[in-house]
Amino acid sequence: MRNISRLLVFKIGGTAKLPAEPALADLPLDPPPSTAAPEVIAVGQVKYGRYCAVCHAPGAVGSTVLPDLRRAGSLESAAAWSAVVHDGVLKNNGMASFKGSLSKEEIEAIRAYVISRANADKAIEAGRKVARR
């Protein structure tokens, strides 16, 4: 999954204009179906807000600096998600393990929440496309 990062350099008295920011919508939003119970998604929303939102943005919408989790390939697999969030397989890339802070059930609830948000946003995008026709 690619990040959409930008480096800005300024010159005193410069007149150049910033190029347009790349659109996040250009990245595919194709999550697995949301199958978790509403109670599980609610727990995931609370835990996401407490542990994930500070880096990955509130509401699971992502940012231009850190990965947009709605578009994460690890959403497809509970084991892959757990390997990242619980086991810390991406710790050398800056993604800390939450093994000491979150249970495996809470980590799966966060995954369920992100999947739910991704599906909701995908439905909104689809509605916009239909409205444009």
CATH of the domain at 126: 1.10.760.10
**Confidence band for 96, pLDDT divided at 50, 70 and 90:** very high
Q: Residue 102: inside a domain, yes or no? A: yes
For residue 37, the model assigns a pLDDT of: 97
Tokens of 11: 């010159």
- pTM of the predicted protein model: 0.78
Q: For residue 87, what are the domain limits? A: 36-132
- Measure the CA–CA gap between 36 and 80, rounded to whole angstroms: 17
Does residue 118 sit within a domain? yes
CA dist 46 to 31, 56, 111, Å?
Answer: 20, 14, 12
Residue type, 59: G
Nearest to 116 by CA among 47, 36, 49, 51: 36
Whether 16 and 77 have beta carbons less than 8 Å apart is answered as: no
Residue 25 has pLDDT above 80, yes or no: no
Q: 18: pLDDT confidence band, cut at 50, 70 and 90?
A: confident
3-state DSSP percent of the chain in helix, strand and coil, to 5: 55, 0, 45
| Residue 4 domain-assigned (yes or no) | no
